Amino acid sequence: MLKLHPSITILLIISAAIPLFFIYSVGGRSHRPDFPEFYGLLCAHRGLFKNAAPYDRPENSLGAFRAAVEAGYGIELDVRFSRDKKLVVFHDDTLKRLCGEDIRVCDLTADELASRRILGGTEHIPLFREALDVIGGAVPIIVEIKCPKDEKPVPLCKAVAEMLDGYDGPYCVESFNPKVVRWFRKNRPQVFIGQLSDAFLRDGHRGADYFAMHHLLVNLAGRPDFVAYNCRHADAAAFRVWRNIYRSPAAAWTVRSQKELDAIRDYYDCYIFEGFIPDENKMNENKNDNK
């Protein structure tokens, strides 16, 4: 019998263990909650918004949410804390892009934020409660929890969860922060929870955090039910493992044209879009082809 040198044996064991660890780490929890609305969902990114004159339905505004409900689309929206720990709907860390002020959202109270007009139009920065009241359970929503690195996730997660506990409508939750995903898995196991990610290394990002996000190694902590992945990188190896080995759900972000939607629709289950109105006849044709 061939006797291998101990160092070679160790190397072989490590070589075999690495891919097994990778496959294990990117997998979600084995018993995911039911969320049938997710499959085939066309979801308006930050509402069915238009960041142009007359600025009556800019992104993440009540006007954009009303427009999405009227059109029958799902809604993706962003939730974060104000300075006084109220839940507000706003994507960016600062007000600079949408309100012209270089100040962080977390440095203003909810009332101060409500006094600002998005892009100088008629819409204010809404509370999460206001958004839920406007949507009223009419369409599914994807709630993205914005939790910066310098913020403790537990108070924010608790506040979002407690508000959603009383919401009568279909929803799921997602975040780039794996600590948020893990908190919901442990404390709200009935909620369909997703890990947001991207092929960060392809875009020039470097560092351990980006490496873990790119390769979905953060799933080891969060054990998400679905992954929301940049639709431009459906060929990324980690994403393909997630889809092909685990047959797990995936959401595409952010689809910006019908051409792009047609190209990626077979790789995802849910489509977060902006800047165009999807051709639902083509989506229905695709469903029929897959029966």
* Averaged pLDDT score across all residues of the chain: 91
More confident residue, 7 or 42: 42
Lowest mean pLDDT among 37-41, 181-185, 209-213, 287-291: 287-291
Task: Over range 231-235, report the average pLDDT.
Answer: 97
Determine which helix (DSSP H) or strand (DSSP E) holds 71, and give its type and residue range: helix 62-71
Question: Which stretch of 28-42, 141-155, 198-212, 213-227 has the lowest confidence by average pLDDT?
Answer: 28-42
* pLDDT exceeds 70 at position 257: yes
For the chain, percent of residues with pLDDT exceeding 90: 80
Mean pLDDT over 201-228 rounds to: 93
Average pLDDT score over residue span 162-184: 98
Compute the residue count for the chain: 291
Q: CA–CA separation, 76 vs 266, rounded Å?
A: 21
Architecture of domain 37-289: Alpha-Beta Barrel (3.20)
- Between 13 and 221, name the one with better pLDDT: 221
Instruction: Please enumerate in sequence order all residues whose Cβ is within 8 A of that of 223, keeping only pairs 6 or more positions apart, or say none.
Output: 27, 28, 29, 181, 182, 185
What would the 3-class secondary structure string for 209-254 be?
Answer: HHHHHHCCCCHHHHCCCEEEEEHHHCCCHHHHHHHHCCCCCEEEEE
Question: Helix or strand or coil: residue 266?
Answer: helix
Mean pLDDT of 211-227: 93
Instruction: Please give the average per-residue pLDDT across 92-103, as a whole number.
Output: 98
Place of tokens 């029929």: 288
Question: Which amino acid is it at 157?
Answer: C
Is 50 exceeded by the pLDDT of residue 239?
yes
| 126-156 pLDDT per residue, tens | 999 999 999 999 999 999 999 988 899 999 9
Backbone angles phi and psi of 124, in degrees to 5: -95, 170
Predicted local confidence at residue 26, as pLDDT: 53
Which residues are within 8 A (CB) of 108 and not within 5 positions of it... i.e. 6 or more apart? 82, 83, 95
Of the candidates 23, 69, 6, 7, the residue with the CA atom closest to the CA atom of residue 220: 23
| Residue 6 predicted with pLDDT over 60 | no
Rounded-to-integer distance, Cα 225 and Cα 195, Å: 8
Question: What is the rounded CA–CA span in Å between residue 68 and residue 142?
Answer: 13
| DSSP-based three-state secondary structure for 196 | strand
pLDDT-derived band at 4 (thresholds 50, 70, 90) equals low
- Measure CA of the first residue to CA of the last residue in the chain; give whole Å: 54
pLDDT at 148: 86
Q: How confident is the model at residue 290 (pLDDT cuts 50, 70, 90)?
A: very low
Question: Residue 247 — pLDDT band, cuts 50, 70, 90?
Answer: confident
- Kindly give, in sequence order, each residue whose CB lies less than 8 Å from that of residue 40, ignoring residues fewer than 6 positions away: 269, 270, 283, 287
What tens digit of pLDDT does each residue of 10-68 get?
555 555 444 555 555 555 666 789 999 999 999 999 999 999 999 999 999 999 999 99
What was the pLDDT predicted at 16?
Answer: 46
Is the separation of the CB atoms in 79 and 105 below 8 Å?
A: no
> 115, 160, 122: which is closest to 142 by C-alpha?
160
Distances (CA, A) of 169 to 132, 139, 142: 9, 7, 11
Report residue 80: phi and psi, to 5°.
-150, 170
**Which residues, 6+ apart, have CB-to-CB distance to 34 below 8 Å?**
192
pLDDT of residue 102: 98
